[in-house]
Amino acid sequence: MRFFNSVYFYLYLPVIILLLVPQSAPAQTVWQYREELKNDIQFWENIFTRFGINQEVFHDAENLQIVYKVMTFDSTVSKENREKEVEKTKKQIGKALRNLAKNHRAHRELSPYQKYLLRLFGDSVSVKELRDAAKRVRSQQGMRENFYAGIKRSVVYLDYMKQLFKAEGLPEELVYLPHIESSFNPVARSHAGAAGLWQFMRSTGRRYLKINRIVDQRYDPFISSQAAVKVLKNNYRKLGDWGLALTAYNFGLAGMKRAAKKYGANYLKVRQSFSHRRFQFASRNFYPEFLAVVKIMQNIQHYFPDITLDEVPRVIRCQTLKRVNLKRLLRQLPVDGAEVKKLNRGYRRRVWNGWQWLPAGYWINLPAGCDLAAIEKLPLKIPAGNLQNVVIQPVTGKAAAFIPAGENFSDRALSPSANAGQLNRQMNSLRPGVIEGIPLPNLLLRAKDTGMLVGNFSQQISLDSLKSELEQKLTIRGNRIVVVGKETLGHYADWLQVSIRELQRLNRLGRRRTIYQGQKIVLSFRKVSREEFYRRRLQFHLDVLKSILRENYLAYFIEYKVNSGESVWQIAQNRFNVAAEIIQYFNFDLNINKLRPGDILKIPVFKANQSLEETL
């Protein structure tokens, strides 16, 4: 083993850095506290751009300006030996600080290294401060190679993410957050179980994404980015400070809300005063890390002058019209299976092996060079806006409806705001190959051919009109509830503060975790009262409804007359491409699991060209 000790180099490092870093454009005011955090930002800037993975930086855990030593390991050193050497060095530095405290108090002669340590703290440092510092020695591995690789990987997603965040009115720089979370590795997984580009925990992911036997959307960079938008937007709306909002992404919103309530909506005050067993180094430094990443990405050619960015791969985004065997489906397309897997990382192994069929309404990304004629022969559709070989674009407001030459007008989506006369005029105005700026719901209706619509489009839906029905639907009867929407055992366990295993025992489910809409579930209220459980459950569904009813997504519903033999799943996925779990929010007066011919089912309609499943 060999390592390089660069102690005295750090005496001059701040001066060198100031000379080397270019003068950047004025910082956006949205990112507060840069001046107060400049030393911490500088530390992380060095970790990301100067120090490699074979280097360990030993520093004070609270004052990151104090760097004791940089150790460089040979690449052949094993992980175990490296960890032993790191722990040994931390103890040596702690011992040196304690000895300095003794010698400094007694005015004894100091060793060269003790003199160096004293210069780091200043001659006025107290004995207590030195002893406390001895307990805070920490090491940080360099990340230059990982950050470099993350920049190369990020080009695949940044254009899409920037448009998505901009459409939601969020600062564009937030798209750089995955540099901290995963180095833009879409299959990254932490020891704690966080997964994907945005490192969602399973409990958080269930609120915004599909996580089931078929797919784990945490590994889908595009859909998980939509979830990240919702999380960050909600964090900022609740906290009103981007420092706190980003810290909440790491630490948790509930904890940051408690901290803000006690110390005010000021990141610096919370960072300095808030005490919690989980609010440790990683959470305290999450925001400074992010500010360092933003600085680097705004001056990328300075920090990585030799970097060359790959061309962004293009994809065709398709949707299944009925349940399909993905393994067989790929055999019918002239595509490289390995490449398709890279573009669809969220699907489980059982789906790729053909053991589990892919239901209707699921998305598949195909390489841009794929034959469109071959796709048209399969049970796949390319929604309007995805006909060209481009990465799916986020759409807001008025969507552009592209009518391919040769397509029948009755295959087009109808505007939700139109009455019968307007619908006829609208359809007559469309021409093959013409782009029309019209509100476009994300479902294909063959209304003229089937006559399945009953009446006209309804008036606009509001949250208040649904809330009272929802409150009644969520009523607890004894210790039993009825599963509503996308609820899972994981949700119940979180709200009740009990284990999933306990709920499985109560309901005699064995090891099975899957529950279905309308199923009766027995609960345990030994840790949480019925009132508190009801409040948490209601808030979950209100958050889902708010997401559905946002201005740019869902605005209206249509009424559909159920035919003989039809189930809600067939109607939702095969006819209208709407998540069946969501339909219940608009049909509390019906038992949607036992539909009868002639029942009138309300189907939600979009303003934007984006599916409800993907929105959630």
Q: Is 46 left (phi over 0), alpha (psi -120 to 50) or beta?
A: alpha
612 or 267: which leads in pLDDT: 267
The 10s digit of each residue's pLDDT in 310-322 is: 666 677 888 888 8
The lowest-confidence range among 124-128, 194-198, 364-368 is: 364-368
Q: Are 72 and 5 in contact (CB under 8 A)?
A: no
Nearest to 466 by CA among 575, 548, 400: 548
pLDDT band at 373 (very low <50, low <70, confident <90, very high): confident
Please indicate, yes or no, whether residues 334 and 355 belong to a single structural domain of this protein. Answer: yes
Amino acid in the structure at residue 236: Y
- Asked whether residue 17 is assigned to any structural domain, the reply reads yes
pLDDT at 425 over 90: no
The 10s digit of each residue's pLDDT in 118-164 is: 999 988 899 999 999 999 999 999 999 999 999 998 988 898 899 99
- For residue 287, the model assigns a pLDDT of 97
- Asked whether residue 581 is assigned to any structural domain, the reply reads no
- For residue 10, the model assigns a pLDDT of 42
Q: Which of 141, 162, 196 is the last residue of a domain?
A: 141
Please indicate, yes or no, whether residues 159 and 297 belong to a single structural domain of this protein. Answer: yes
509 or 1: which leads in pLDDT: 509
Q: What is the DSSP string of 303-352?
A: H-TT--PPPPPPEEEEEESS-B-HHHHHHTSSS-HHHHHHH-TTB-HHHH
- Asked whether residue 327 is assigned to any structural domain, the reply reads yes
- Asked whether residue 569 is assigned to any structural domain, the reply reads no
Sole residue written with tokens 């089937």: 450
Please indicate, yes or no, whether residues 59 and 175 belong to a single structural domain of this protein. Answer: no
Q: Are 288 and 273 in contact (CB under 8 A)?
A: no
- The number of domains in the chain is 4
- Asked whether residue 534 is assigned to any structural domain, the reply reads yes
Range of the domain at 399: 315-450
Q: Are 324 and 351 in contact (CB under 8 A)?
A: no
- Asked whether residue 590 is assigned to any structural domain, the reply reads no
Q: Does this model's pTM top 0.85?
A: no
The 10s digit of each residue's pLDDT in 532-575 is: 999 999 888 887 777 666 543 555 667 788 888 777 877 876 67
Please indicate, yes or no, whether residues 501 and 535 belong to a single structural domain of this protein. Answer: yes
185: domain CATH number is 1.10.530.10
Q: Return the structure tokens found at 274.
A: 């808030």
Q: What angle do CA 202, 576, 317 make, to 5 degrees?
A: 60
Mention every residue, 6+ apart, whose C-beta is less than 8 A from residue 468: none
Q: What is the mean pLDDT of the chain?
A: 78
Q: Which of 303, 324, 358 is the last residue of a domain?
A: 303
Distance CA 391, CA 221 (A): 12
Please indicate, yes or no, whether residues 219 and 272 belong to a single structural domain of this protein. Answer: yes
- Asked whether residue 319 is assigned to any structural domain, the reply reads yes
Q: Which of 419, 450, 481 is the last residue of a domain?
A: 450
Q: Return the structure tokens found at 147.
A: 């950050």
Sole residue written with tokens 């500088």: 42
10 Å Cβ neighbour count for 226?
Answer: 20
The 10s digit of each residue's pLDDT in 165-190 is: 998 899 999 999 999 999 999 989 98
- Asked whether residue 2 is assigned to any structural domain, the reply reads no
